[in-house]
Structure 1
């Protein structure tokens, strides 16, 4: 059993998708390990298609039937028995985990709201289901709306009447309806303008400061740098670097992390040459080697190696 000092402890998680007879499997997530402690906000960053959202879906049991998982992911909620997420039956995931122990803030929140019911009705129903002992679900819903900075007038509106930022606040309130100790936010700022991006991630940071563990999955490095306490960088299904966010942003060790930062406005908009490999045809060794400016013939091992409080998968770190 992995360490109980963490709310969420993931060890060597891999996800493969079967595409049918004679076709190669999709290596969506490969040997990913990380932990989330109370008060921690871990930013998981990387280019689109690297496996970030698949990882979140795997933790909540939301993958399609052709998925094959291995590894270990243990949820250690206070006052509750540990749950091994990857092997848990649907009854456990639906009745104990989703909403109650782990809240999900989805991408494109408006698309996940029921279009024929008001935001308030959906929030009250979530509270009623997730907190059955609560005598006044409507009062709790109003308190949650206030908690996320949502004007009560918007609770009376339907999803199509909400702006993107307002819909996202409703989604955060729904994620908190069961008062979960862990929050997974999967690209919660997609499609939002910069002020709304900052408000959304600041709200997630507030949740971490309250003692929750937050996983922020994003391709927006500026958003991650604003709030993340720790950072994990994903490339072609694997983590290539992990550690305290301030250190990774200040002195990236992996050439891919350095390339991502170089593509930011503050880095001069320097694009990483080439393209990520297909997840059905990953190369041997380091998958970033064909795009790496310092690879030469390193033949790097893709496994993370610990150096103090940091981890890097590179034989020739920057």
Structure 2
């Protein structure tokens, strides 16, 4: 699928971690176009590669990373095979809301000082007065009181820390925001609060990438969903496509696990099939057949909705 007005484009993107004797590949040749000014959810279980993809977007890959293919952000090739260049992108155009906001905040600084440090990095010549003004506006925009700026991170609850992290992102004013499991360890009320805050970010014309295992949360927030498993994209499309017409068995499994409307999906084939060149879902798929020894490419049934499944492709 090729869309216009693209914020992020990946082609045959491989990202792995050098473990000395072998490379552990977290992404296995993914292709994806993410439009500007939209909310795009990357959904999958732990180990699917979704966090690695999020880190690649914001330029937070470790030094021992191995890359192939390319990743383009706002027409800048940040990954070009083994060359990485995030100049002008990291911390400016693309910013991450951390999965663990408390750990990401400097425990020795008050929130006001954290804002000041972040804003001085983003806007080199900003005055202290202007930085305080921006911090105050950002804190208020996430529903926190002004006195939060005078607190240390350990004085904040988990929900407050999450909102401070979102406020820091709002203050930086990037074009692309990656939110990694933004509702983990939050109760239902705070999940709703974070959901509304993320929606407000979208309304400001930003591109929001949400990394989550929760397809129900994704469906409430995003315009598009990409379903990942073991470093590969198995299904991709608009939320309405994914929820009303899921094509890949794994997508159906995720929807069933979230207790959505799709009929129950159960595994009934326990035969383990380890074939690194074939479909990554083969060892868990109840519809496995001989074609699955080869890795399927994404097949699009319309402009937006694609699936990497031999069985589905043969049935269409």
TM-score with structure 1 setting the length: 0.87
Q: Tell me the distance in 2 between the aligned counterparts of 1:305 and 1:201.
A: 32
Do 1:263 and 1:272's aligned partners in 2 also have CA atoms closer than 8 Å?
no
Q: Name the counterpart of 2:42.
A: 44
Match of 1:302 among 287, 296, 303: 296
Q: Tell me the distance in 2 between the aligned counterparts of 1:12 and 1:150.
A: 43
SS at match of 2:88: helix
Match of 2:196 among 189, 196, 202: 202
Q: Name the counterpart of 2:306.
A: 311
Match of 1:138 among 132, 137, 140: 132
SS at match of 1:283: coil
SS at match of 1:257: helix
1:120 matches 2:118: no
Q: Name the counterpart of 2:92.
A: 100
Cα distance, 1:316 vs structure 2: 1.9
Do 2:28 and 2:232's aligned partners in 1 also have CA atoms closer than 8 Å?
yes
Do 1:103 and 1:176's aligned partners in 2 also have CA atoms closer than 8 Å?
no
Do 1:119 and 1:154's aligned partners in 2 also have CA atoms closer than 8 Å?
yes
Q: Give unpaired runs (5+ residues) of structure 2.
A: none
Q: Tell me the distance in 2 between the aligned counterparts of 1:272 and 1:114.
A: 45
Q: Tell me the distance in 2 between the aligned counterparts of 1:134 and 1:86.
A: 31
TM-score with structure 2 setting the length: 0.88
Q: Give unpaired runs (5+ residues) of structure 1.
A: 77-81
Q: Name the counterpart of 1:287.
A: 280
1:83 matches 2:76: yes
SS at match of 1:177: helix
SS at match of 1:149: coil
Q: Tell me the distance in 2 between the aligned counterparts of 1:253 and 1:270.
A: 12
Q: Name the counterpart of 1:111.
A: 103
Q: Tell me the distance in 2 between the aligned counterparts of 1:129 and 1:248.
A: 40
Match of 2:121 among 101, 123, 129: 129
C-alpha RMSD of matched pairs (Å): 2.6
Match of 2:241 among 233, 247, 251: 247
Match of 1:226 among 220, 223, 246: 220
- Of the structure 1 ranges 265-274 and 253-262, higher mean CA displacement relative to structure 2 is found in 265-274
Do 2:296 and 2:310's aligned partners in 1 also have CA atoms closer than 8 Å?
no
Cα 1:175–1:98, aligned 2, differ >3 Å: closer, same or farther? farther
Paired residue total: 305
Do 1:262 and 1:271's aligned partners in 2 also have CA atoms closer than 8 Å?
no
Match of 2:163 among 156, 169, 174: 169
Q: Name the counterpart of 1:79.
A: none
Cα 1:229–1:74, aligned 2, differ >3 Å: closer, same or farther? same
Q: Name the counterpart of 2:181.
A: 187
Do 2:216 and 2:260's aligned partners in 1 also have CA atoms closer than 8 Å?
no
Deviations 1:86-129 (A, max 9, x none): 25988x63x62222111110101111100111122211221222
